[in-house]
Structure 1
Amino acid sequence: MSQLVPAQASPSYQWELTPTGSTAQFRGLSAVSKDVAWVGGTGGTVLRTVDGGKSWQNVSPAGASALQFRDVEAFDAQRAVILSIGTGEDSRIYRTADGGKSWTETFRNTDPNAFYDCLAFNSNKHGLALSDPVDGKFRIAATSDGGKSWQVQPTAGMPDALPGEFAFAASGTCLVAGPGRTAWFATGGGDRPRVFRTVDGGKRWTVADSPMASGDAAGIFSLAFRGPLFGVAVGGDFLKPTEAVKAASVTSDGGRTWKLVPADKAPKGYRSGSAFVPWAASTVVAVGPSGSDVSYDGGRSWKQFYDGSFDSVECAGHGLQAGCWASGAKGAVARLAH
């Protein structure tokens, strides 16, 4: 695979806010195209747009107002899977096939020690859900039917968790899926952040240390990959949102090793979400409460282009249908203009 190269010209980026009519905090986000996106958030809120954000439909599941939806994985305008987070039975997965008119609960966690953080799908059928450690190991639930059913996986192939280690349910991107049956998840909370990798759909995992910051409120909050090799990790300390505390790193070998981005080239603060844009091979966007940054060289250097707050960013689509979306507090959802 060829090396990532910077774009010949660096376009200017800006967020165009769309009126959602909601005050929920949207950490769950799924981009389908420049026209179609889904968001999930506090108060059991799920919204959907099919017209580029001109209008949003409230498609929240009935009876879910006590839940926080922190991840959304949408396949198109009709089919989506959503994850609510929390200890015990607050961690649930719902699925819709009719644009959110009706939802089916397809998974409810019954282990009081488990806490599911994020979802990721390799395809319309194969997906994984990640829980914080139970009995010293991170837990994976897997689906092979598009989220209609989930099976908690054996942990024999999962490395031991570090003391205090967990994943951050900040943007739905602590777990990301790659080509084939590849997936990665990132951690914090321990004495060092780490990135776990599977190539067999979550049965067996390897783990690599990261040079980024870790601590009670610090670690890797988001991963983004372009293909099987090139990846970016962003994070920092969410209690220090304006400080770039070892807040970004990059990999060119599929997550086996990670190189820290120097402070003078890193994002300008703690970042909770990241995504490669579809139209430029080396361009990555990162968002957080103190601003948004863009990298034109695969994450090696970053430039802030927005000083407002977002929690999540996702990109999807091809050609003229490609689009990037961001979401966050007080009902904020925006589309990326470039």
Structure 2
Amino acid sequence: MIEYYLLPLLLVLLNACKSTHETKTNPYYTKIKIDTLLHDKISVRALLVDQHKIWYAGNGNKFGFLTLEKDAQSYQTTIQNNNLKLEFRSIAQTNNSVFILTVANPALLYRIDKKTLQTELVYQEQHEKVFYDAMLFMNEKEGIAIGDPTENCPSIIKTADGGNTWTKLPCSTLPQFATGESFFAASNTNITYKEGKLFMVSGGKSANCYVSDNKGFS
């Protein structure tokens, strides 16, 4: 008769375990839904969020945006410049414009009007070592882009008029880089501006964190 008593007890225990497992939640995990927004042969390493739009720029001279609004149209086009093969890895924005910057020689910085989608070349630099890696705007007027050394210091260009004109800072105001030290084209993640301080992180044979309290002038 023992087995007849054990069977109901076992069923009760199993049901209790099942009920406890179903109601238990883990505060460190959440469920997300993943949708495919773009089908294209493109390498995207420049990405930013602008309200309901995701702006991107990549290789193959391409840039555009994906919209998250229902029934709204996404957009993609290419920039042509003397048959150059352009690859964008830096992106930044103001309220009215998006800025995308190429890697390698020549460095080409374009401004895109968010409303008209017209593009304008606002900065260019030619040097066998030129390679810009990251860019951001600290406010609506002041922006900065950083790149690998063409001399013995980091390459830094700045704007103070909302991106209309850009100027390269002289090495006399900047720290010297060690041999083999450079920035990474890390999708703008090695530069940030917070509470009045600009932070830039280098790597390679020497890795350092540089901090500026005057928006990169020194």
TM-score bracket, normalised by the shorter chain, equals 0.7 to 0.9
2:94 aligns with one of 71, 75, 84: 75
2:40 aligns with one of 14, 17, 22: 22
- Cα distance change on mapping 1:62 and 1:29 into 2, 3 Å: same
Q: Deviations over 1:213-261 (max 9, x none)?
A: xxxxxxxxxxxxxxxxxxxxxxxxxxxxxxxxxxxxxxxxxxxxxxxxx
2:212 aligns with one of 190, 198, 203: 198
The separation in 1 between residues aligned to 2:134 and 2:113, in whole angstroms, is 20
- Cα distance change on mapping 1:121 and 1:139 into 2, 3 Å: same
Larger radius of gyration: 2
The separation in 2 between residues aligned to 1:52 and 1:69, in whole angstroms, is 26
The answer as to whether partners of 1:59 and 1:101 remain within 8 angstroms in 2 is no
The answer as to whether partners of 1:38 and 1:74 remain within 8 angstroms in 2 is no
2:199 pairs with 1:184: yes
The answer as to whether partners of 2:37 and 2:66 remain within 8 angstroms in 1 is no
1:117 aligns with one of 124, 130, 133: 133
Q: Deviations over 1:139-175 (max 9, x none)?
A: 2100011211100012223221111011111312222
Q: Tell which has more relative contact order, 1 or 2 (C-alpha 8 A, sep 6+).
A: 1
Which consecutive unaligned segments of at least 5 residues does structure 1 have? 1-8, 205-338
C-alpha RMSD of matched pairs (Å): 2.3
TM-score normalised by the chain length of structure 1: 0.52
Which consecutive unaligned segments of at least 5 residues does structure 2 have? 1-26
Deviation of 1:179 (Å): 3.5
The answer as to whether partners of 1:132 and 1:167 remain within 8 angstroms in 2 is yes
The separation in 2 between residues aligned to 1:13 and 1:52, in whole angstroms, is 22
Partner of 1:17: helix, strand, or coil? Answer: coil
Partner of 2:141: helix, strand, or coil? Answer: coil
Counterpart in the other structure of 2:153: 137
Deviation of 1:114 (Å): 2.2
Paired positions, count: 190
Percentage of identical aligned residues: 22
Alignment of 1:101-180 (within 5 A): 101-180=117-196
2:73 pairs with 1:60: no
Counterpart in the other structure of 1:50: 67
- Cα distance change on mapping 1:29 and 1:162 into 2, 3 Å: same
- Cα distance change on mapping 1:98 and 1:166 into 2, 3 Å: same
The separation in 2 between residues aligned to 1:70 and 1:105, in whole angstroms, is 16
TM-score normalised by the chain length of structure 2: 0.78
The separation in 1 between residues aligned to 2:92 and 2:31, in whole angstroms, is 25
The separation in 2 between residues aligned to 1:185 and 1:13, in whole angstroms, is 34
